[in-house]
Chain A
Amino acid sequence: AQSVTQLGSHVSVSEGALVLLRCNYSSSVPPYLFWYVQYPNQGLQLLLKYTSAATLVKGINGFEAEFKKSETSFHLTKPSAHMSDAAEYFCAVSALNSGNTPLVFGKGTRLSVIA
């Protein structure tokens, strides 16, 4: 079975500062990992995904995440926060060859950006 833990339900950063949102996963088989973003009053939107190719994955809006098997982590980063990055971010995991089972989502981290 797979699981995801997002450390910190709320993260606050200043505009222009580094964004770091933490995600640790548990999976008995090689995982696929995802980050989704949810802006207010919208659905979840895929930000980036890791599918066992390059360990450093680049997504939309300047975000990237690095898969670290030794640490079972898939943290999301962005060098410089923008006001428009304020949203809720969800980490999710699926397993290779898991068929059509749903993604397992973390509880989400709300990112606030302070001017």
Chain B
Amino acid sequence: DAGVIQSPRHEVTEMGQEVTLRCKPISGHNSLFWYRQTMMRGLELLIYFNNNVPIDDSGMPEDRFSAKMPNASFSTLKIQPSEPRDSAVYFCASRHSGGAYEQYFGPGTRLTVT
């Protein structure tokens, strides 16, 4: 069974450009989470969805960040415009509500903004 799929795995962009990160959760999972990980701040929860509906976006750092989940099998995290301080590894995770609440993580997207 395929795990959580994220694309791209690496992204290098210039400051001011729009960046879109993509996530495909595990089939049948109905909760999806976006995290950011940096050396300075560790692992931070940005936003999460239940049944495609955003539940808590209080972790989104600024209005430059937005996330959508148009259907159960796809989510995007967009940064517009990007800044060097957005450089981090972004993880997507999914979970089935009937499980023992464990979350399954994707391999991450390493974003570098120059």
* Known contacts A43-B91, A100-B95, A108-B43; A32 and B100 CB within 8 A of each other: yes
A102 to B30, CA, bound (A): 12
Residues of B within 8 A of A (CB): 4, 30-31, 33, 42-43, 45, 48, 50, 55, 91, 93, 95, 97, 100-108, 110
Cβ proximity bits A38-61 to B, threshold 8 Å, 1 near / 0 not: 000111111001010000000000
The distance in angstroms between the C-alpha atoms of A5 and B46, with both chains bound, is 21
Closest chain B residue, CB of each to CB of A43: B105
Interface flags, A13-51, vs B, CB<8A=1, else 0: 000000000000000000010101000011111100101
**Residue A90 CB within 8 A of the other chain:** yes
Query: Interface residues of A, CB < 8 Å — how many?
Result: 21
Whether B104 pairs with A46 at a CB distance below 8 angstroms is yes
Contacts of A100 in B (CB 8 A): 30-31, 50, 55, 95, 97
